[in-house]
Structure 1
Amino acid sequence: MTYRASRSRAPGGTAPTGSATLRRANLSVVLRELRDHRSLSRAEIAQATGLHRATVSNLMAELLERRLVREVGVEHVGAIGRPRRAVALHGAHVGALGMEINVDYIAVHGTDLSGRSLVERRVVHDAMGSGPDSAVRRLGLVAKEAVEAMRRAGAVPTGIAVAVPGLVDVTRGVVTLAPNLHWRDLPLAERLGAVLGRARVPVWVDNDANLAALAEYTSGVAAGTPHLVYLTGEVGVGGGIISGGELLRGADGFSGEVGHLRVDPNGDQCGCGRIGCWETKVGLAALVRAAMPEQAYGLPGMPGPDPGERVADIARGLASGDRRMMMAVAQVGEWLGLGGSILANLFNPRVIVIGGYFASLAQWLLPHAQDQLQRLVVAAPAAPCRFVASTLGFGAASRGAASMVVNHLIDDPTTITDSLPRPAPH
């Protein structure tokens, strides 16, 4: 249910006016119904959407022509075994590319319209130290490589979405402020589009935690839970909030900056310039500095290893009983629980899904965090809330970004042009 959309029932009420607009909306309604089910007959789609059966048949003819759906067999229903031809979402030729750029890596997740994974990779890149110009160039290079890999798999990318750890003006594709990347007012969608050049693929930009939260809600460990909070667990800490099954964006789209909750007035300076932010206590940089200071972020010289390697080193130390690492993780776990309790008191979620390095070290972090959560949440006895570890790893935001592109396509299937490749005739 990535970017949950209202499903207008049939052509009544406040349906869009104009035949082309109405048809586009109805095509989207049908595709959304098929996305949520493995397969459906035309009659079942008509019943679920409120559209007339003849309208559904007409729409299905166009979707079959565009190769966005496929017929998957004949079902027999009723006492006399009346046959119904079932259809399913298809679009194997239609690609969606999701990317994430973070402090020390670029992640990629490419999929087709039906959710088939085509590309999955993570590239080490010092985005914090290289500056925005270099980061955009590297992002463009990685995007071009992913686009080519998707083309080889038979899918033409029809959109790219990029997840960024910071405040994003989604409408304009501008990164307003990304403190840990040292970016301000960067027109990332425009700049990346220029780097891609001839590809001329639409580019969208959104906050990494928002996109990761949507990925969790759609296909993660707490999929379908209508009230959840997602925490990124990177060098910086962001939050995505699902309330009533919808992403909570706030008045200007800047909600979820939970890493900048002030939890210690006498603490360290944050990348945002303020003192004592929550991410200075629980971000990966804070843990690495305490657990293995020889690999701390910001040290002079070459950029450090992939974040997954740093976390793996800490996990090995914890498994062997390294006292310094055990103490560092216990302290981070307690701060994680304290900040989580603030979010639980504010939003009353059923679960707080922890991603990134939090999930990798969950077996050591969560006992401390859950204890604090139980102690500090006011409504804990009546409204239990628990931490759960994500299973999507460091790829949650890029996966959510790909889903964002798919959702744009489903919103308007007519943007999928006839220039996409067709199977060779037999």
Structure 2
Amino acid sequence: MHQSWPGGRTSESSSPHRSSRIPADQATVRRSNLSLVLRHVSERGPCSRSAVAVETGLNKTTITSLVGELQARGLLKEIGPQHAGSVGRPGLALVLDGSKVGALGLEVNVDYIAAFATDLAGRVLIDRRIGFDAMGSAPERSLAKLAQVIEKAVADLDRSGVALAGITVAVPGLIDTATGTVVVAPNLNWHGVPVVDSLLSAGVSPSVPITVDNDANLAALAEYSSGVAMGTPDLVYLTGEVGVGCGVISSGRPLRGADGFAGEVGHIMVDAIGERCGCGRTGCWETKVGLAALVRMATPDHAYGTDQQPVRDPEERLAEIEQRRAEGDPRVEAAVTEVGRWLGRGAAILANLFNPRVIVLGGFFARLADGLIPIAQAELERLGMTVIAGRCAFTASTFGFGAASRGAVDVVIERVLSDPTSIAIRND
């Protein structure tokens, strides 16, 4: 099931009287009805044309025409027959197709670039992550590498006969989604980086829509759409990367803030005499609970910025920490305990602010959930408002470090569901 993820970029008419006097043109009505039928089949699963007509309120003649067009665009197909239990000839069932329509999600983070692609029905086509030192690279070099990853993904999809409907890029920072610009990403040292324009200049096809969004917002969408908290209307997602971002779903909708910058909880000051943060301030929450903090405490010989070997994927760092923990290394256990305490203390603030039912832990938080959650939950209940904290629980994501790129794919799919005419009619 794909949930709507409003991006806040569609403007309403400033004059309701003017808009009410102008009838919608036929193309707009047609596009709206195509979306209604496609979304209905996507959410309900196999259903007959008659059932779609009854449940959407459209007449059968209109349904026949709309289904024909959606089939021509490769978005619906018929299987069957479907038996509804009534007397008469069973009808064929409509299901989502989209096997030749692809959605590509990417994530640029401190030490990796991830690519994830599915077809419209959610079948995974690409799932890869490569180690890359984005923290130690200039934005131009990082974006050049990202363009290479996109080029390879597009080529792979093309060889499979899949046309790309769109690309969404996740970045850990403040994003101007209207222009596709990273306003600031402290851990990447990006300031005013025009991601979309740079990718187009690097050769990414201008015919493919590209959007950019915050990694935590996209990860929260993935969890709400298909993750461990699927359908939970009030949740908080914590990224568990080198930086700690936060995505909030409130009453089933993303909480973005006036400029789309909500969720930068990693830079809440929690210790005035603590470590210096990548944002330039001192004692930010992510200096206590981010992956860099854990690595610094658990494996100081391999701390970020001191490692002499090539850039290491976060999975490699975690594997080493897990091995040392399994061997009973007291330094590692103490580090996990310390991160758990600070995780719970920060979560208590979030619980008081947002009153979520679930706090989903992503990234390395999820990998070490058995050690982190009991400690964090105890701190949450100790410091949070009793009636709030007692109804809020931590849970571990199953998406690992791939949640943001999955959410990025959901954004593309939502765009197709909202406007099926964005997919060309097939000639084969």
Q: State the partner residue of 2:365.
A: 358
CA distance in 2, matches of 1:421, 1:308: 44
Q: Which runs of 5+ in 1 are unaligned?
A: 7-12
Give secondary structure in 2 for the equivalent of 1:88. strand
1:176 aligns with 2:183: yes
- Deviation at 1:82? 4.6
Distance in 1, matches of 2:61 and 2:241, equals: 51
Q: Which residue of 2 aligns with 1:161?
A: 168
Q: Is the 8 A contact 1:107 1:395 kept in 2?
A: yes
Question: What's the counterpart of residue 212 of structure 1?
Answer: 219
Question: 1:38 corresponds to which residue?
Answer: 45
Listed as ranges, the matches of 1:325-344 within 5 Å are: 325-344=332-351
**Quick one: which amino acid aligns to residue 50 of structure 1?**
G
Find the counterpart in structure 1 of residue 11 from structure 2: none
What residue in structure 2 maps to residue 65 of structure 1? 72
| Deviation by residue 1:219-269 (Cα, 9 ceiling, x = unmatched) | 101111111100000000001001111111111111111111111112111
The unaligned stretches of length 5 or more in structure 2 are 8-18
In structure 2, what is the equivalent of residue 401 of structure 1?
A: 408
Q: Which one of 206, 209, 218 corresponds to residue 202 of structure 1?
A: 209
Partner deviation per Cα, 1:3-46 (whole Å, 9 max, x = no partner): 3479xxxxxx9898110011111111211112212212222223
In 2, the alpha carbon distance for the partners of 1:149 and 1:282 equals: 37
2:57 matched to which residue of 1? Answer: 50
- Contact 1:232 / 1:239 at 8 angstroms: preserved in 2? yes
Shift of 1:214: 0.4
2:108 aligned to 101, 109, 112, which one? 101
Would you say 1:257 and 2:264 are equivalent positions?
yes
Rounded Cα–Cα distance in structure 1 between residues aligned with 2:198 and 2:427: 28
146-155 or 349-358, which moves further after superposition? 146-155
With over 3 angstroms needed to count, the CA separation of the structure-2 counterparts of 1:198 and 1:389, relative to structure 1, is closer
Q: Secondary structure at the match of 1:184?
A: strand
- More displaced, 376-385 or 317-326? 376-385
1:320: how far off? 1.7
Structure 1 residues 210 and 341, CA gap change in structure 2 (3 angstroms): same
Aligned alpha-carbon RMSD (Å): 2.0
Structure 1 residue 49, shift from structure 2 partner: 2.5
- The DSSP-based 3-state class of the residue aligned with 1:357 is helix
Matched residue, 2:246: 239
CA deviations on 1:251-297 (whole Å, 9 max, x unpaired) are: 11111111111111121111111111110100000000000011111
Q: Are 2:152 and 1:145 equivalent residues in the alignment?
A: yes
Amino acid across the alignment from 2:114: A
Between the aligned partners of 2:6 and 2:167, the Cα distance in structure 1 is 20
Q: Which moved more, 1:196-205 or 1:281-290?
A: 196-205
- Native 8 Å contact 2:348 2:389 kept in 1: no
Matched to 2:399, the amino acid is L
Any idea what the Cα deviations from partners look like across 1:334-367, whole Å, max 9, x if unmatched?
A: 0000111111111111100000000011111111
Matched residue SS, 2:261: coil
Contact 2:344 2:380 in 1 (8 A): yes
**Contact 1:289–1:297 under 8 Å retained in 2:** yes
Corresponding position: 1:90 with 2:102 = no
The answer to whether the 8 A contact 1:2-1:215 is kept is no
Aligned to 1:119, the other structure's residue is in SS state strand
The answer on whether the counterparts of 1:179 and 1:272 sit within 8 Å (CA) in structure 2 is: yes
Task: Provide the residue aligned with 2:84 in structure 1.
Answer: 77
In the alignment, which residue of structure 2 is the partner of 1:3?
A: 4
- Partner residue, 2:323: 316
Tell me the amino acid that sits aligned with residue 52 of structure 2.
Answer: I
> Structure 1 CA distance, aligned partners of 2:259 and 2:23?
26
Question: 128-137 or 264-273, which moves further after superposition?
Answer: 264-273
Matched, 1:378 2:379: no
Moved over 6 A (4+): 13-16
Distance 1:107 1:347 in 2: 30
